[in-house]
Structure 1
Amino acid sequence: MESKNMKTIIQELDKYSSGVSEESIQEISQTILEVNRVFVAGAGRSGYAARGFAMRLMHLNIRSFFIGEPTTPSIGKNDLLVIGSGSGATTSLVDNAKKAKSAGARIATITIYPEAPIGRMSDVIVVVPGETPKKVTNNMDTVKSIQPMGSLFEQLSWLTYDSIILNLMNLMTETTESMFPRHANLE
């Protein structure tokens, strides 16, 4: 017997995934290929999706770091900071964006609200439909999810990151087979 809730979630993802533009996927992919290193940040559940993205970048042999890890170096000129933030206003992530900008890095964001503080500092914006407890995006009229809080955004973020990875694989002529040797063997 199929799960009614799971089916509804998948229908929501199918409906709202069309709100993520292919042009923005292409633009962030090209930007990633132009920079020296990619730093990735996110908080809460959005941060878990961002962490998975940083891992896949590493599998593509792109120098990537997740902000907050003890081995993350300082960011600088010709680096990119990718921030996943539904609200675009999480204080710690806004602070990271300001520091990255002052160090000469470029910024990209995956967000519901491109007009929020992080979006206003970003060079590349990927708008992902979703809702936050305080307000609802209007990039696809009114988004209304049956799921709690930011779940729709978090799930669509993960799929957006994976779409970027697939795009990069194509641009870099990488395959699962060529990437697999970079997968962790100490776990």
Structure 2
Amino acid sequence: IIAISGSGETNTIVSAAKIAKNRGSKVLAVTSYPESTLGKLSDAYVFVKGRTKKEVDDENYMKRQIHGNYTSLTPLGTAFELTTLVFLDAIVSELMEKMQQTESDLKARHTVLE
């Protein structure tokens, strides 16, 4: 299972990862916090640097800027989410090329749960 959580503490993601581990699955975490609950229970992780909800601290923003600790002003986990989206899209593109698959091939196997 690939479990994605910037903070590594999102309850639904951590819960799903625990269930997968209990059933014998391997867990790959995509997170900004490998030392988090999700990171610790995963078999491996991909570190994606990004400003997550965990880093929101508007009171000390100016203080951090003065000390040279620059952080993005993107709201909540936007930077993490966008970076992860681009990263995973790149993996899918690479796999499509290596497996000689087209977008039509993927659409034919895509399950819609609506």
Aligned position for 1:107: 27
Residue segments in structure 2 that go unaligned for 5+ positions in a row: 57-68
TM-score (norm 2): 0.73
For the 8 Å contact 1:132–1:149, the answer to whether it is kept is: yes
> Percent sequence identity over matched residues?
38
For the 8 Å contact 1:111–1:125, the answer to whether it is kept is: yes
Aligned position for 2:65: none
Instruction: Give 1:167 deviation, angstroms.
Output: 2.0
Aligned position for 1:59: none
The structure with the largest alpha-carbon Rg is 2
Count of aligned pairs: 101
**Which whole-Å deviations, capped at 9, do the CAs of 1:142-183 have from their partners, x for residues lacking one?**
662121111111111111110120121123121234434446
Over 3 Å counting, the alpha-carbon distance change for 1:94 and 1:179 in structure 2 is closer
**Which whole-Å deviations, capped at 9, do the CAs of 1:94-139 have from their partners, x for residues lacking one?**
1221111111001011111111111111123111111124338xxx
Aligned position for 2:8: 88
Q: Does 1:135 align with 2:55?
A: yes
**Which whole-Å deviations, capped at 9, do the CAs of 1:11-36 have from their partners, x for residues lacking one?**
xxxxxxxxxxxxxxxxxxxxxxxxxx
For the 8 Å contact 1:130–1:143, the answer to whether it is kept is: no
**Which whole-Å deviations, capped at 9, do the CAs of 1:33-65 have from their partners, x for residues lacking one?**
xxxxxxxxxxxxxxxxxxxxxxxxxxxxxxxxx
**More strand per residue:** 1
TM-score (norm 1): 0.47
Q: How far apart, in 2, do the equivalents of 1:121 and 1:181 lie?
A: 34
Q: Does 1:118 align with 2:45?
A: no
Residue segments in structure 1 that go unaligned for 5+ positions in a row: 1-80, 137-141
Over 3 Å counting, the alpha-carbon distance change for 1:163 and 1:109 in structure 2 is same
Q: How far apart, in 1, do the equivalents of 2:24 and 2:107 lie?
A: 33
Over 3 Å counting, the alpha-carbon distance change for 1:97 and 1:169 in structure 2 is same
For the 8 Å contact 1:131–1:143, the answer to whether it is kept is: no
The structure whose RCO (Cα within 8 Å, separation 6+) is larger is 1
For the 8 Å contact 1:129–1:143, the answer to whether it is kept is: no
Instruction: Give 1:85 deviation, angstroms.
Output: 0.3
C-alpha RMSD of matched pairs (Å): 2.4
Over 3 Å counting, the alpha-carbon distance change for 1:90 and 1:143 in structure 2 is farther
Q: How far apart, in 2, do the equivalents of 1:143 and 1:92 lie?
A: 30
